[in-house]
Structure 1
Amino acid sequence: MSFVVLLLAILVEKLSGLRQRLQRDSGWLRELHKLESGPTLGHKPWWVLAILILFPVAVLGLLLWVLQPVAYGLLALPVHLLVVIYSLGRGDLLAGLGPFRDAWRRGDLQACAHVAERDLGETADSGEQLLEKVQSHLLWQAYQSFFAVIFWYFLLGPVAALSYRLLALAAEHGRNPELVERAQQLRHAFDWLPVRLLGASFALVGNFAAVTRVMLHELLSWDISAQQLINKAGCAAAEIPAPQAGPEGVASLDTLWALLLRAAVLWYAGFAVWTLLL
Structure 2
Amino acid sequence: MNFLVLLLVLWVEKFSSWRSAVQQDGPWLRLLAKVERNKKQLASPWLTLVGMLALPLVILALVLAVLSTVAYGWLALPVHLLVVVYSLGRGDLWVALGPFRDSWRRSDSESAYLVARRDLGIDAQTPEALLSDVQQYLVWQAYQSFFAVIFWYALLGPLVALAYRLLALIEEHSQQPALQVRASQLRHAFDWLPARLLCVSFGLVGNFVGVSRALLHELLSWDISAARLVTNVARAASEVTAPVLGEAGVNSLDELWQLLVRCAILWYAIFALWTLFL
Is this contact kept in 2: 1:37–1:176, CA < 8 A? Answer: no
Mean alpha-carbon deviation: is it higher for 134-143 or for 113-122?
113-122
The CA distance in 2 between the partners of 1:112 and 1:15, in whole Å, is: 29
- Counterpart of 1:151? 151
Matched AA of 1:67: L
- Counterpart of 2:244? 244
- Counterpart of 2:139? 139
The CA distance in 1 between the partners of 2:54 and 2:46, in whole Å, is: 11
Q: Structure 1 vs Structure 2: percent identity of aligned residues? A: 60
Is this contact kept in 2: 1:203–1:237, CA < 8 A? Answer: yes
TM norm structure 1: 0.98
- Counterpart of 2:277? 277
- Counterpart of 1:60? 60
Deviation of the 1:33 alpha carbon: 1.7
Deviation of the 1:106 alpha carbon: 0.9
Deviation of the 1:65 alpha carbon: 1.0
Mean alpha-carbon deviation: is it higher for 237-246 or for 38-47?
38-47
- Counterpart of 1:200? 200
Which consecutive unaligned segments of at least 5 residues does structure 1 have? none
Matched AA of 1:114: L
Mapping for residues 169-180 of structure 1, pairs under 5 Å: 169-180=169-180
The CA distance in 1 between the partners of 2:43 and 2:99, in whole Å, is: 41
Matched AA of 2:49: L
Matched AA of 1:173: H
Deviation of the 1:110 alpha carbon: 0.8
Matched AA of 1:236: A
Residue deviations 1:202-256 (CA, integer Å, cap 9, x gap): 0000000000111111011000000010011100000000011111111111000
- Counterpart of 2:258? 258
Is this contact kept in 2: 1:5–1:80, CA < 8 A? Answer: yes
- Counterpart of 1:235? 235
Is this contact kept in 2: 1:128–1:243, CA < 8 A? Answer: yes
Is this contact kept in 2: 1:36–1:43, CA < 8 A? Answer: no
Residue deviations 1:53-99 (CA, integer Å, cap 9, x gap): 11101110111111112111110000000000000000110111011
- Counterpart of 1:165? 165
Matched AA of 1:176: Q
The CA distance in 1 between the partners of 2:33 and 2:153, in whole Å, is: 28
Deviation of the 1:43 alpha carbon: 2.3
How many aligned positions are there? 278
Matched AA of 2:8: L
- Counterpart of 1:88? 88
Query: What secondary structure does 1:222 align onto?
Result: coil
The CA distance in 1 between the partners of 2:61 and 2:184, in whole Å, is: 24
The CA distance in 1 between the partners of 2:114 and 2:34, in whole Å, is: 33
Deviation of the 1:177 alpha carbon: 0.4
TM norm structure 2: 0.98
- Counterpart of 1:105? 105
Query: What secondary structure does 1:75 align onto?
Result: helix
Superposed CA RMSD in Å reads 0.8
- Counterpart of 1:128? 128
Matched AA of 2:138: L
The CA distance in 1 between the partners of 2:212 and 2:63, in whole Å, is: 43
- Counterpart of 1:46? 46
- Counterpart of 1:3? 3
The CA distance in 1 between the partners of 2:209 and 2:54, in whole Å, is: 42
Mean alpha-carbon deviation: is it higher for 69-78 or for 200-209?
69-78
Query: What secondary structure does 2:259 align onto?
Result: helix
- Counterpart of 1:16? 16
Deviation of the 1:48 alpha carbon: 2.5
